[in-house]
């Protein structure tokens, strides 16, 4: 089961929960699982079946470069973060 | 009406016709194909277009092309001896005194003018003389070191 | 000076200081930069720009311009295809495709002074310029939104009536100038503030500043009769130009070739496109190549400076100087269209410290100013000015040395950041320690109106995508074909990594930056990523080269490739019976199956290689004029592993200098109508050689676990600490804490006079 | 830049003839460091450009028993490279060596600085402090105007149609006299003065009493400003800190600055006082050194 850290702006959907444990072998599956438990989350983080532009996701503090296909481990921690680049 | 300009550029006699309005910088780059002199500001505030005009360092962007009739001009393309590099150029490379390199021609020409006037400048001399040349990449540290090293003495002695 | 933390590996090439491969061309004036490019039959283009910060465009009449002899075409937004208003990521972060297009040529409204409204092509630059002045544009001026906080108010003039605040996928019901809100939360700030012995807080304002690269933007475009478009320009990212131009002119990317010429500085400002599509459309209309260059005023008014900001920070500490809680409310100017790098400010503001409870709100706010762009650790300098000066106050209150309080609170491997990620091995403490041991710290600063300041800074550094190709020449040298445009010596830093991997000298590698048809995709030269991420691609290609060369050696010896071992440049059979050098082997490729070509491509993990710096500055204030003179500057930085230490030092010195300029003189000065009043290198005061001392760069090497040589990006960190370090030093010199940037002579003088009880009377 | 005509006359008469014929369309070109930029930015309507650098009277630099004559087109570098001029007219030397950078000083002239009539011109306060006079040639002959009367507003001078500034004459300066020009700029080079002051002091033979003094200010009024009462305030008095403070206060009061992108009103007023005091102090030192023969 992966531990998902819920961004403050989505906590209304999780009844205030900051961390939620769900099953899923990829980011895509984790989001599907989240959606099942807390309907509405999916639309907030995805657009056209991809991560929303400007949003990234990290698995165990490593930014996923494979989007929804990124593998998630049994004990992984999943964090939604803004996508950034520099100058 | 076009103006007939005769000048010596990098030791070679040159003749060209131009409108009165282009700057020396435009004439060098567009008429003569010498694109080593760069436009950074086009109003005399960055030094990227520096050339030596009759022995004096000037911003070629604020000289009208017709003004050089009868004059001698040295551009960055005229600094190196045949088949090699001028010490200043060599020292810029050794000291990593350039990053993007677009200000470099202006600095090379200005440094040449400085050393022509003062063969062993101090750090203060060099900083003052080169204050009309903006560099946005290096913070000037390595440029100043390269110029001081170009005196063939070491910077500690001359500073 | 290099301080190495862990036992260094022995390298042949890495850590040496060879002469850069493109050096001779650049010191002799032969290197071809964008504006130096020539093509037969070229016309010259010129942009017509809005004189108003906010105005409805009522009509555009080009007739008088078209009558001028030598004028060939005029375009307006009507000539530019109109994409759907949809978020796209074209290599510069997500943006609305329609906004991207409308920033190139205004449609309906001009949203900042300098906003392009039309463009003309003519036989030469002078005629084009005259023609541009003859294009008659009728405007209806509107009230502009200039101040970032005021622009957030519901009563502010709206730039876009279809802009609704995005809050992680939730869209506001009413339009506003706040394009986006992002929030980070860690721990419980309410509890944290309750536990603090004292809370320090302040509001810090910074005005817009420009990257100030010396080379103005330029582009030459040829829209060929066969429907292929070629663009020659100087850019930080040829592929980004390709993707963006293709989007706005409505071509497939395969129809667009971008040829990157030498680039005269960028610092983030040469990532966006400006002239490229305009030149392309003028070329399509005239059937001839069109060259365009900006003048310096256009660069200031019509490109992407970096955001000004209003930042409110609170830090709670315990008596022993431990930070227990921090919060920040950070509003950044996006400029005329959404998409400032404001999140970078949020990611960096408290990053050097291990603080249990953090809450950060960030806002991307549109105002009637040029659409902002990245500038060297964008938004992080504004943020550090706030946090690092408050920390200085805490140190003073707690009776701690500014370096000691940083060590005491330092983030380390395992510290959770505000955004929720956990730091891997980082080198922050090591930079503080090196600063403590520096000659600078060991020297006392004496004299009236003098002060020493310390500040630290963080930049996360990017990864992203890179591709390279390596070919082996028969003389034993190798060509390195890359797509990362070289702004500051990355040909050398990449060639050196390849040389290290395959065991040749740096000079035996010939690096070249090629066009978008000639190498795999590369993201921009930005985010301090090239030496790191393109370096990873180079290492991969180098390993592939070795593997293929080993196969060739095996073929020569009729052995199995598994029996060949490689050490440096020597290929030998494991039993020691045969060996051959790389150079000799390279001469035998024709007889062993033909050329050896290897490739490397990565989408590099960006989360591991963050960089930290700690700076120390001594300065003197003239109490009668408010002028600040920098007496001494030392910058320590963790470079992970310095591939070419001279260019690492150069990055540090250059970043520090930009930070010094930002701290004391650089600013966009705005008139009440939203006009920049100092759009020249005369009045936008970047430091000259006479304004600076030598800058001591101390490189600390705490290897990046995500790179075989340990490389961390170095380009951006050094601009982060200077304004805060200088503010802290000014406090020690005059006893007043300044919170707004720049700390120009008028501001410092006002502070001195006010502290003396004789505040200036405004007239 | 719009299309222009370019003329390079070799005599003063020829230059005046061209200027007179073209009238307001004409502008003389010396170093071009202001004019060419103005033309390029369409800030000048001129399209007849008269390069005066081949006119002997405008390129003359002569120091003799009567004083100093600075041809209007003499570049700053020629002034500061002359050690005798540096000794006798140190404020002029100061200004010539701080206008722009080296590249600018190699082209820009004090005459051009004066004709450009910028309130912030660094070259003008020293000429005022040294009591300079302008020699003007025109279609109806020549005339002279004191330097402090030459500029009449931002960008405006007393020059009439066809007239040309030929040279600036400074009276003999020597004995126990000294002068100084200082300006305040945020950088250390390549800036326009936020405020500037040029001071001249001549001492009596006792080396203590001021025989005469003059102060000129830059960037604190629509034109370079002669601080008229400086001479009155100081003449006959001992050169003391109090006396200088009074003049500095007079400078603050005389200042009528504006706020622009280079400075605030209060800041310029404050600086006028500071710079007046500072330049008087250095001028005094120099006057004493000159009297002792140590300069």
Q: What is the pLDDT of residues D60-82, one digit of tens each?
A: 999 999 999 999 999 999 999 99
Q: What's the gap in Å between the CA of D188 and the closest CA on chain C? A: 6
pLDDT for res D295: 52
Burial zone of C107 (CB within 10 Å; 0-12 exposed, 13-18 middle, 19+ buried): middle
Length of chain D in residues, anyone?
295
Contacting residues of D for C130, CB less than 8 Å apart: 2
> Which of D77, D106, D190 minimises the CB distance to B131?
D190
- Cα radius of gyration (chain D): 19
> Which of A58, A79, A86 minimises the CB distance to C527?
A86
Residues 6+ away with beta carbon under 8 Å from C66: C74, C131
Model confidence at B159, pLDDT cuts 50, 70, 90, reads: very low
How far apart (Å, rounded) are the C-alpha atoms in residues C135 and C455?
51
- Please indicate whether, in this complex, the C-beta atoms of D189 and B129 are within 8 angstroms of each other: no
> 3-state DSSP call for residue C610?
coil
Residue C369: name the closest of C336, C340, C343 by CA.
Answer: C336
Q: What's the gap in Å between the CA of C596 and the closest CA on chain D? A: 53
> Which of B34, B127, B136 minimises the CB distance to C690?
B127
Q: Flag whether pLDDT at B1 surpasses 90.
A: no
Q: What's the gap in Å between the CA of B13 and the closest CA on chain D? A: 21
- Which residue on chain B is closest to C213 by alpha carbon? B136
From residue D148, how far is each of D34, D133, D158, D211 by CA, in Å?
A: 21, 8, 11, 21
How far apart (Å, rounded) are the C-alpha atoms in residues C731 and C536?
44
> 3-state DSSP call for residue C581?
strand
Q: Flag whether pLDDT at D13 surpasses 60.
A: yes
Q: Flag whether pLDDT at B153 surpasses 50.
A: no
Alpha carbons within 13 angstroms on the beta-carbon side of residue C547 total 10
- Please indicate whether, in this complex, the C-beta atoms of C745 and D265 are within 8 angstroms of each other: no
- Which residue on chain C is closest to B124 by alpha carbon? C690
Q: What's the gap in Å between the CA of D260 and the closest CA on chain C? A: 8
Scanning C58-135, the segments in alpha helix (DSSP H) are 63-67, 97-104, 125-134
- Please indicate whether, in this complex, the C-beta atoms of D270 and C760 are within 8 angstroms of each other: yes
Q: Which of residues 100-129 of C touch B (CB under 8 A)?
A: 126
- Please indicate whether, in this complex, the C-beta atoms of D187 and C683 are within 8 angstroms of each other: no
- Please indicate whether, in this complex, the C-beta atoms of D190 and B56 are within 8 angstroms of each other: no
| Residue owning tokens 């991207």 | C100
Q: Evaluate whether chains C and D are touching (3 or more beta carbon pairs less than 8 Å apart).
A: yes
From residue C601, how far is each of C226, C462, C512, C551, C597 by CA, in Å?
A: 31, 16, 16, 22, 14
pLDDT for res C156: 98
Length of chain B in residues, anyone?
159
- Please indicate whether, in this complex, the C-beta atoms of C760 and D2 are within 8 angstroms of each other: no
The arithmetic mean of pLDDT across residues D191-204, rounded, is 97
B79: contact with C, CB 8 A cutoff? yes
Q: Which of residues 5-64 of B touch C (CB under 8 A)?
A: 19, 21-22, 29, 34-43, 45-46, 48
Contacting residues of C for A58, CB less than 8 Å apart: 420-421, 607
Instruction: Write out the two tokens for C468.
Output: 């390279």
Residues 6+ away with beta carbon under 8 Å from C135: C48, C60, C61, C62, C64, C65, C74, C118, C120
Task: Name the phi and psi angles at B109, rounded to 5.
Answer: -65, -40
Provide the ipTM: 0.97
- H or E element: which one contains D105? helix D102-105
Instruction: Write out the two tokens for C725.
Output: 């370090």
- Please indicate whether, in this complex, the C-beta atoms of C690 and D189 are within 8 angstroms of each other: yes
Instruction: Write out the two tokens for C408.
Output: 């005491």
From residue D273, how far is each of D195, D200, D212 by CA, in Å?
A: 10, 15, 19
How far apart (Å, rounded) are the C-alpha atoms in residues C660 and C719?
8
> Which of B42, B100, B130 minimises the CB distance to C689?
B130
- Please indicate whether, in this complex, the C-beta atoms of C664 and D186 are within 8 angstroms of each other: yes
- Please indicate whether, in this complex, the C-beta atoms of D32 and B20 are within 8 angstroms of each other: no
> Which of B42, B62, B132 minimises the CB distance to D101?
B132
What are the residues of chain D with a beta carbon less than 8 Å away from any beta carbon of chain B? Answer: 1-6, 8, 29, 32-33, 36-37, 39-41, 49, 51, 53, 75, 77, 100-104, 106-107, 188-190
> Which of B21, B38, B43 minimises the CB distance to C33?
B38
> 3-state DSSP call for residue C739?
coil
Query: The pTM is what?
Result: 0.97
How far apart (Å, rounded) are the C-alpha atoms in residues C91 and C112?
24
Burial zone of C560 (CB within 10 Å; 0-12 exposed, 13-18 middle, 19+ buried): exposed
Rounded to 5, what percent of chain C is helix, strand, coil?
30, 30, 40
Nearest 5°: the CA angle C205, A87, C385 is 25
Contacting residues of A for C268, CB less than 8 Å apart: 86-87
- Please indicate whether, in this complex, the C-beta atoms of C87 and A82 are within 8 angstroms of each other: no
Q: Which of residues 435-494 of C touch B (CB under 8 A)?
A: 487-489
Q: Flag whether pLDDT at B152 surpasses 60.
A: no
Q: Is the bond preceding residue D253 a cis peptide, omega within 30 degrees?
A: no
Residue D264: name the closest of D195, D215, D181, D183 by CA.
Answer: D195
Q: Flag whether pLDDT at D238 surpasses 80.
A: yes
Residue C675: name the closest of C131, C121, C52, C120 by CA.
Answer: C52
> Which of C262, C658, C695 minimises the CB distance to B101?
C262
Residues 6+ away with beta carbon under 8 Å from C329: C311, C312, C313, C360, C361
Instruction: Write out the two tokens for C372.
Output: 């902002």
Best to test chain B binding among D48, D59, D78, D101 (most B CBs inside 10 Å)? D101
B148: contact with C, CB 8 A cutoff? no
How far apart (Å, rounded) are the C-alpha atoms in residues C691 and A65?
44
| Residue owning tokens 């810090």 | C204
Residue C278: name the closest of C328, C244, C312 by CA.
Answer: C244
Q: Dmax of chain A from CA atoms? A: 40
pLDDT tens-digit profile of D128-151?
999 999 999 999 999 999 999 999
Query: Taking phi first (over 0 means left), then psi (-120 to 50 degrees means alpha), and beta for anything else, what does residue C70 get?
Result: left
pLDDT for res C681: 98
| Residue owning tokens 């001249």 | D200
Q: What's the gap in Å between the CA of A16 and the closest CA on chain C? A: 13
Listed as own residue / partner, the contacts of D272-275 with beta carbons closer than 8 Å and 24 or more positions apart are: D272/D195, D272/D197, D272/D217, D272/D220, D272/D248, D273/D248, D273/D249, D274/C624, D274/C625, D274/D184, D274/D248, D275/D182, D275/D183, D275/D184, D275/D195, D275/D196, D275/D197, D275/D217, D275/D251
> How is the beta sheet containing C611-621 ordered, strand by strand?
C2-4, C695-701, C628-638, C611-621, C450-459
Q: Where are the beta strands (DSSP E) in A19-71?
A: 19-22, 46-47, 50-51, 55-59, 62-63
Q: What's the gap in Å between the CA of A53 and the closest CA on chain C? A: 5
- Please indicate whether, in this complex, the C-beta atoms of B63 and D36 are within 8 angstroms of each other: yes
Q: What's the gap in Å between the CA of D184 and the closest CA on chain C? A: 8
How far apart (Å, rounded) are the C-alpha atoms in residues A24 and A30?
5
pLDDT tens-digit profile of D20-52?
999 999 999 999 999 999 999 999 999 999 999
> Which of A55, A62, A85 minimises the CB distance to C607?
A62
Around Cβ C585, how many Cβ atoms within 10 Å?
22
Q: Evaluate whether chains B and D are touching (3 or more beta carbon pairs less than 8 Å apart).
A: yes
Chains in contact with B, counting 3 or more C-beta pairs less than 8 Å apart as contact: C, D
Instruction: Write out the two tokens for B137.
Output: 């990449």
Q: Evaluate whether chains C and B are touching (3 or more beta carbon pairs less than 8 Å apart).
A: yes
Q: Beta partners for C300?
A: none
Instruction: Write out the two tokens for C699.
Output: 């490189």
pLDDT for res C763: 67
B85: contact with C, CB 8 A cutoff? yes
Contacting residues of D for B58, CB less than 8 Å apart: 103, 106-107
- Which residue on chain C is closest to B96 by alpha carbon? C646
Q: Beta partners for B5?
A: B16
Instruction: Write out the two tokens for A78.
Output: 């999943």
Nearest 5°: the CA angle D101, D102, D103 is 90
- Please indicate whether, in this complex, the C-beta atoms of D271 and C625 are within 8 angstroms of each other: yes
Q: What's the gap in Å between the CA of C457 and the closest CA on chain A? A: 15
How far apart (Å, rounded) are the C-alpha atoms in residues C223 and D257?
54
Contacting residues of C for B128, CB less than 8 Å apart: 690
**Interface size between A and C, measured as CB pairs under 8 A:** 113
How far apart (Å, rounded) are the C-alpha atoms in residues D274 and C355?
48
Residues of chain C with pLDDT under 70: 1-9, 763
Q: Which of residues 383-412 of C touch B (CB under 8 A)?
A: none
Q: Flag whether pLDDT at B155 surpasses 50.
A: no
């Amino acid at each position: 089961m992966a531990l998902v850290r819920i961004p403050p702006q989505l906590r209304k959907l999780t009844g205030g929960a900051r961390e939620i444990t769900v099953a899923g072998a990829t980011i895509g599956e984790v989001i599907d699982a989240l959606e099942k438990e807390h309907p509405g989350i999916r639309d907030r983080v995805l657009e056209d079946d991809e991560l929303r532009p400007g949003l990234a996701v990290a698995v165990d503090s490593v930014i996923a470069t494979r989007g929804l296909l990124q593998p998630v481990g049994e004990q992984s921690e999943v964090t939604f973060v803004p996508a950034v680049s520099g100058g | 009406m076009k103006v007939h300009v005769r000048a010596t550029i990098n030791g070679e006699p040159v003749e060209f016709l131009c409108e009165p309005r282009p700057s020396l910088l435009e004439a060098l780059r567009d008429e003569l194909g010498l694109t080593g002199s760069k436009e950074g500001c086009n109003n005399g505030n960055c030094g990227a277009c520096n050339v030596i005009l009759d022995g004096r360092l000037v911003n070629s962007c604020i000289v009208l092309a017709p003004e050089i009739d009868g004059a001698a001009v040295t551009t960055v393309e005229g600094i190196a001896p045949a088949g090699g590099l001028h010490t200043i150029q060599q020292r810029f490379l050794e000291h990593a005194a350039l990053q993007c390199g677009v200000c470099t021609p202006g600095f090379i020409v200005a440094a040449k003018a400085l050393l022509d006037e003062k063969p062993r400048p101090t750090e203060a001399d060099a900083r003052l003389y080169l204050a009309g040349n903006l560099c946005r990449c290096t913070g000037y540290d390595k440029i100043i070191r390269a110029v001081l090293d170009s005196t063939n003495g070491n910077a500690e002695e001359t500073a | 000076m290099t301080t190495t933390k862990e036992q260094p590996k022995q390298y042949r090439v890495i850590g040496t200081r060879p002469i850069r491969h493109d050096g001779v061309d650049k010191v002799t004036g032969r290197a071809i930069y964008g504006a130096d490019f020539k093509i037969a039959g070229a016309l010259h283009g010129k942009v017509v720009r809005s004189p108003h910060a906010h105005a409805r465009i009522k009509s555009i009449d080009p007739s008088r311009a078209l009558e001028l002899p030598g004028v060939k075409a005029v375009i307006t937004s009507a000539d530019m295809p109109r994409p759907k208003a949809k978020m796209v990521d074209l290599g510069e972060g997500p943006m609305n495709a329609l906004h991207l297009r409308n920033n190139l040529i205004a449609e309906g409204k001009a949203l900042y002074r300098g906003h392009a409204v039309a463009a003309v092509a003519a036989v030469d630059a002078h005629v084009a310029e005259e023609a541009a002045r003859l294009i008659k544009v009728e405007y209806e001026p509107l009230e502009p939104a200039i101040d970032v906080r005021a622009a957030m108010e519901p009563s502010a003039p709206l730039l876009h009536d279809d802009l609704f605040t995005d809050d992680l996928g939730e869209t506001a019901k009413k339009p506003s100038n706040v394009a986006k809100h992002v929030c980070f939360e860690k721990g419980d700030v309410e509890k944290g503030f309750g536990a603090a012995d004292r809370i320090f807080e302040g509001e810090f304002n910074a005005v817009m500043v420009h990257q100030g690269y010396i080379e103005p933007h330029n582009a030459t475009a040829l829209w060929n009769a066969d429907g292929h478009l070629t663009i020659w320009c100087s850019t930080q990212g040829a592929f980004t130009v390709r993707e963006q131009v293709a989007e706005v002119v409505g071509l497939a990317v395969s129809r667009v070739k971008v040829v990157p010429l030498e680039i005269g500085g960028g610092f983030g400002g040469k990532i966006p496109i400006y002239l490229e599509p305009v030149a392309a459309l003028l070329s399509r209309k005239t059937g001839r190549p069109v060259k365009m260059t900006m003048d310096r005023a256009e660069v200031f008014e019509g490109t992407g400076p970096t955001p000004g900001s209003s930042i409110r920070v609170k830090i709670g500490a315990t008596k022993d100087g431990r930070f227990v809680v921090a919060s920040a409310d950070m509003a950044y100017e996006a400029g005329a269209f959404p998409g400032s790098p404001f999140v970078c400010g949020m990611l960096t503001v408290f990053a050097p410290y291990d603080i249990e409870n953090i809450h950060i709100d960030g806002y991307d706010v549109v105002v009637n100013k040029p659409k902002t762009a990245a500038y060297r650790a964008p938004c992080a300098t504004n943020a550090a000015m706030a946090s690092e000066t408050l920390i200085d106050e805490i140190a003073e209150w707690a009776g701690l040395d500014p370096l000691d309080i940083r060590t005491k609170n330092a983030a380390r491997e395992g510290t959770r950041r505000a955004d929720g990620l956990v730091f891997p091995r980082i080198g922050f403490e090591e930079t503080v320690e090196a600063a403590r041991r520096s000659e600078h710290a060991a020297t006392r600063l004496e004299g009236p109106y003098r002060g020493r300041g310390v500040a630290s800074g963080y930049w996360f550094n990017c990864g992203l995508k890179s591709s390279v190709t390596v070919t082996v020449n028969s003389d034993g040298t190798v060509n390195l074909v890359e797509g990362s445009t070289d702004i500051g010596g990355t040909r050398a830093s990449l060639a050196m990594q390849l040389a290290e991997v395959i065991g040749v000298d740096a000079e035996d590698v010939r690096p070249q930056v090629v066009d978008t048809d000639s190498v795999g995709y590369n993201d921009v030269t930005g985010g301090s990523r090239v030496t790191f991420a393109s370096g990873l691609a180079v290492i991969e290609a180098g390993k592939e080269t070795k593997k293929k060369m080993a196969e060739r050696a095996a073929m020569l010896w009729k052995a199995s490739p598994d029996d060949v071992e490689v050490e440096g440049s020597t290929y030998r059979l494991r039993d020691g019976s045969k060996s051959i050098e790389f150079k000799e082997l390279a001469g035998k490729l024709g007889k062993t199956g033909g050329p050896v070509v290897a490739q490397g491509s990565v989408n590099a993990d960006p989360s591991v290689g963050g960089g930290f710096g700690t700076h120390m500055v001594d300065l003197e204030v003239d109490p009668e004029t408010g002028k600040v003179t920098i007496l001494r500057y030392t910058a320590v930085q963790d470079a992970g592993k310095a591939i070419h230490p001279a260019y690492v030092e150069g990055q540090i010195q250059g970043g520090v200098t930009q930070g010094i300029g930002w701290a004391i003189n650089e600013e966009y000065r705005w008139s009440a109508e939203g006009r920049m009043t100092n759009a020249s290198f005369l009045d936008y005061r970047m430091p000259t050689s006479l304004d600076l001392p030598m800058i001591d760069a101390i490189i600390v090497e705490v290897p990046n676990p995500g790179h075989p040589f340990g490389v961390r990006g170095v380009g951006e960190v050094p601009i982060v600490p200077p304004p805060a370090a200088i503010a802290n030093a000014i406090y020690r010199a005059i006893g007043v804490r300044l919170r707004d940037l720049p700390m120009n002579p008028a501001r410092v003088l006002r502070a001195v006079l006010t502290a003396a009880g004789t505040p200036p009377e405004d007239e | 830049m719009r299309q222009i005509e370019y003329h390079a006359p070799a005599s003063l008469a020829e230059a005046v003839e061209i200027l007179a014929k073209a009238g307001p369309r004409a502008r003389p070109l010396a170093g071009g460091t202001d004019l060419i930029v103005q033309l390029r930015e369409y800030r000048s309507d001129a399209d007849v450009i008269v390069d005066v650098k081949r006119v002997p009277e405008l390129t003359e630099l002569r120091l003799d028993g009567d004083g100093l004559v600075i041809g209007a087109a003499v570049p700053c570098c020629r002034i500061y490279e002359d050690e005798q001029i540096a000794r006798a007219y140190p404020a002029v030397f100061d200004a010539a060596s701080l206008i722009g950078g080296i590249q600018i000083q190699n082209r820009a002239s004090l005459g051009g600085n004066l004709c450009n009539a910028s309130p912030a011109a660094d070259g003008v306060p020293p000429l005022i402090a040294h009591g300079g006079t302008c020699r003007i040639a025109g279609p109806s002959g020549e005339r002279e105007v004191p330097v402090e009367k030459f500029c009449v507003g931002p960008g405006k001078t007393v020059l009439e149609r066809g007239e040309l500034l030929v040279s600036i004459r400074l009276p003999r300066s020597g004995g126990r006299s000294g002068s100084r020009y200082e300006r305040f700029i945020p950088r250390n080079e390549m800036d326009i003065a936020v405020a500037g002051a040029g001071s001249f002091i001549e001492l009596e033979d006792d080396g203590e009493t001021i025989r005469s003094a003059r102060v000129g200010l830059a960037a604190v009024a629509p034109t370079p400003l002669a601080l008229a009462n400086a001479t009155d305030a100081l003449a006959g008095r001992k050169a003391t800190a109090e006396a200088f403070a009074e003049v500095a206060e007079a400078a603050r009061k005389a200042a009528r600055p504006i706020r622009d992108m280079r400075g605030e009103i209060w800041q310029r007023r404050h600086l006028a006082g500071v710079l007046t005091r500072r330049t008087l102090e250095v001028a005094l030192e120099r006057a004493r050194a000159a009297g002792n023969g140590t300069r």
